[in-house]
Amino acid sequence: MTTRTERYAIAWLALITALLFSSPLRAQQNNSGETKGVRSGDYNVKQTIEFGYRDSMIDGNINNYDTFENLGSGVRLFNYTLDMQSVDHKGVFFDSLTFSNFGYGGDPNDVTRLRIEKNKWYDFRAMFRRDKNFWDYNLLANPLNPASSVPALAIVNSPHSMDLVRRMQDYNLTLLPESRLRFRLGYSHNVNEGPGFTTLDGGTEPLLAETFHYTTNAYRLGADYRFFPKTTVSFDELLTYFKQDNTVTDQNFPFVLSNGTPADLGIVFNTAGNTPCAKPIANGTTTPPTATANCNGYLAYNRIGRPRGSFPTERLSFESSYFRNLEMSGSVSYSSDNNSIPDFSEVINSWTSRTASRGSTVGGPSDAKRISVNADWSGVIA
Amino acid sequence: MARAKTSLIAALAVFAFLFMHQASSLAQDKQTPKTGGSVAKSSAPQASGSSQYAGADACKTCHADEYASWEKSPHWKTTLNTRGGPSKQGCEACHGAAASHVADPSDTSKLFLFEKASAKQINARCLECHASGTEHMHAINSLHAKNDVSCTSCHSPHHAKEAQFLLVKRQPELCYSCHLQQRAQFAMPFHHRVNEGMIQCTDCHNPHGTERPHQLRASSAQDAVCFTCHADKQGPFVFEHEVVKVEGCESCHTPHGSPNPHMLKVSNVNLLCLQCHTTSFANAPGAPSFHNQAAQFQACTLCHTQIHGSNFDKDFFK
């Protein structure tokens, strides 16, 4: 992974260096300290770049450090900006372009922002963000196993640790931004994915491996129309689609049954409280240790559920200061949210003493709906 | 899904028609000869019955620095507004008719002087052009406006440090100038990555006002803005944790920052859950006696992992 991200960083640096030297840029400043930039064709161009190498030497609990900071070593693009302004406001494709980046090369947060506009015709904004979210903080989800338990098992890592990456893309285009009737188009793509752990209640608490994968696609269409002077009505059609493709499996089998079958007695050990049972280890001399046969535990667990959500929303809004002493704004929206899980499947091979359950297989569809209607109006009388 | 497709197709058809209509009228505007010269020179004095107006070139004679900064800014686009006449163009679009000031520099009676205007007057001035659209539609009624924060408190048409939106400072420093408490919150161990530049204050808040408390934006489905990124918590779930919808994310989390993991309001999860889940609280079931929180199971979410809502289990176990 490190090699890949470093390769990305080097590619970025090469690209930016090429851009930097593509025109004879030499920073010049006027009396007010503002960078003047250089003339390139019809544009005034300003660029800044800050890159280098970060060396991190971390001692102690690395997982804790990564939970809070997660700043590693390597080549980094700390900042790059490009600003192009048409000198006579008559650029062929655009009059203004601003482009900024930071964090590339392995930092937990990478952001790119781009804005291009052409007077009267369009205003386009794009943003890409990548957010690494490493989490191993065992204060939460810690069962606080007592030291008197036999065996006594201290929880040193979070049972809900995760290493997720969220990538968010947002694109917004406004057409005819100066006109009486203007149009807005937008698209957002949000993916959050990565490995992690979770737990499950069922006699004991097995530590389950979960692969997270959430995807959201959002489409936006809107129009603003100035009906009268100082009165604008806006309509938005907002379509959001969400999908979840997580899988959950038990991959943690530190014990075996007497017949050699791998077993998971969970992470909660309080033998005085019969969790997972009064005497969970039948034979501690074997490798791995042999679990007691009638103890709460899991031999296999598998769960797949693929929720699919859709959120179509219509929104009508207005603002008006047409009347001399009365300013108003308001909106009404209707959203019918639907969440469908077509193929839930859960297969458990376990022993749960409190329900005398040997296992279960659950499957089938389910769905949920919600309708939201919002309306508001506000007025200010001067 | 079918409704979404129908809505999308209908909206696309309407938008396509309107766009073609508007674009063709815009193109026609461009081809129509203008009495006041070319678009680029429209800052020259206009002849359309506007003897009160001097034109931007006249202003430039004395206010060269201001003219230079304005010429590079988006406000230059006002010179393209040939329909509005000289009162909507150039320097005078904001500062008012300047002919008398040009004739007698000491006469500022017809000028709009921002440094002498009240916040309300400044806001009204800017909103003459900027009120339309969803971003500014609540500006008059915004918390900022109510507290005498004017447009020029954050935006500087002539001396902006940030080219985008002509801001006087970059976010979040601009917001921190007044919101000192939020600065401290974002410095806490667990926080949204605003100081890191990952997200901005304006991702969640609209400084120009919304219909919601704290000038919060909304998700596409008009729910809490949190669901824009945290879509997996949005639902609707087969088994809802009602507090998420009824009281919102802030009933358990402090969104700016917290000393507690997951930006929770309290450090021990059970103390948070027990605020509602007690026998004396009628609307939420009390915690069962076998939970033995004195010694163990203080972390409710060890078992109730899907606490924001579940599609598979009524007790939010999975």
Which residues in B lie closer than 8 A to residue A369 (C-beta atoms)?
236
Give the nearest chain A residue to B161 (CA atoms).
A34
Which residues in A lie closer than 8 A to residue B22 (C-beta atoms)?
176, 179-183
What is the average pLDDT across A147-159?
89
In terms of domains, do B190 and B120 share one?
yes
Least reliable range by pLDDT among A109-118, A340-349, B221-230: B221-230
Asked, for residue B172, whether it belongs to a domain, the answer is: yes
Which of A310, A368, A376 shows the shortest C-beta gap to B4? A310
Q: Containing domain of residue B171, as a range?
A: 116-215
Count of structural domains within chain B: 2
Which of A44, A160, A366 shows the shortest C-beta gap to B238? A366
Give the nearest chain A residue to B145 (CA atoms).
A380
pLDDT tens per residue across span B112-126: 999 999 999 999 899
pLDDT given for residue B14 in this prediction: 63
| Cα torsion through B254, B256, B259, B263, rounded to 10 | 50
In terms of domains, do B172 and B207 share one?
yes
A204 to chain B, minimum CA–CA distance in Å? 10
For residue A103, the tally of other CB atoms under 10 A from its CB is 22
pLDDT given for residue B126 in this prediction: 93
pLDDT at A347 > cutoff 70:
yes
pLDDT given for residue B35 in this prediction: 34
Using alpha carbons, list the distances in angstroms from residue B255 to A23, B136, B193, B233: 45, 24, 11, 15
Asked, for residue B122, whether it belongs to a domain, the answer is: yes
What share of chain A in percent tops pLDDT 90? 68
Asked, for residue B66, whether it belongs to a domain, the answer is: no
| Band of residue B18 on the pLDDT scale cut at 50, 70, 90 | low
In terms of domains, do B171 and B208 share one?
yes
A62 to chain B, minimum CA–CA distance in Å? 16
Question: What gap in Å lies between CA A216 and CA A220, rounded to an integer?
Answer: 13
Which residues in B lie closer than 8 A to residue A221 (C-beta atoms)?
8, 11-12, 15
Interchain pair B138, A310: CB under 8 A: no
Q: Residue with structure tokens 């000192």?
A: B180
A246 to chain B, minimum CA–CA distance in Å? 11
Average pLDDT, chain A: 89
- Most confident stretch, A206-220, A314-328, B140-154: A206-220
Asked, for residue B18, whether it belongs to a domain, the answer is: no
Interchain pair B133, A182: CB under 8 A: yes
pLDDT at B317 > cutoff 80:
yes
| Band of residue A119 on the pLDDT scale cut at 50, 70, 90 | confident
pLDDT given for residue B25 in this prediction: 52
In terms of domains, do B202 and B249 share one?
no
Interchain pair A199, B229: CB under 8 A: no
Question: What gap in Å lies between CA A319 and CA A375, rounded to an integer?
Answer: 14
In terms of domains, do B203 and B259 share one?
no
Asked, for residue B6, whether it belongs to a domain, the answer is: no
In terms of domains, do B274 and B192 share one?
no
| Helix (H) or strand (E) run with residue A318 in it | strand A308-320
Domain boundary among B196, B215, B234: B215
Asked, for residue B65, whether it belongs to a domain, the answer is: no
pLDDT at B4 > cutoff 80:
no
Asked, for residue B87, whether it belongs to a domain, the answer is: no
Domain ranges (residues) in chain A: 1-118, 120-382
pLDDT at B241 > cutoff 60:
yes
pLDDT given for residue A334 in this prediction: 96
ipTM here: 0.86
Residue B215 · residue B202 · CB < 8 Å: no
pLDDT given for residue B87 in this prediction: 86
pLDDT given for residue A17 in this prediction: 63
Average pLDDT, chain B: 83
Question: What gap in Å lies between CA B64 and CA B71, rounded to an integer?
Answer: 10
pLDDT at A154 > cutoff 70:
yes
Asked, for residue B42, whether it belongs to a domain, the answer is: no
Question: What gap in Å lies between CA B75 and CA B68, rounded to an integer?
Answer: 12
| Band of residue A6 on the pLDDT scale cut at 50, 70, 90 | low
CB pairs < 8 Å spanning A and B: 245
pLDDT given for residue B9 in this prediction: 67
- Residues A141, A146, A149, A151: is their CA dihedral positive or negative? positive
In terms of domains, do B155 and B182 share one?
yes
| Helix (H) or strand (E) run with residue B43 in it | none
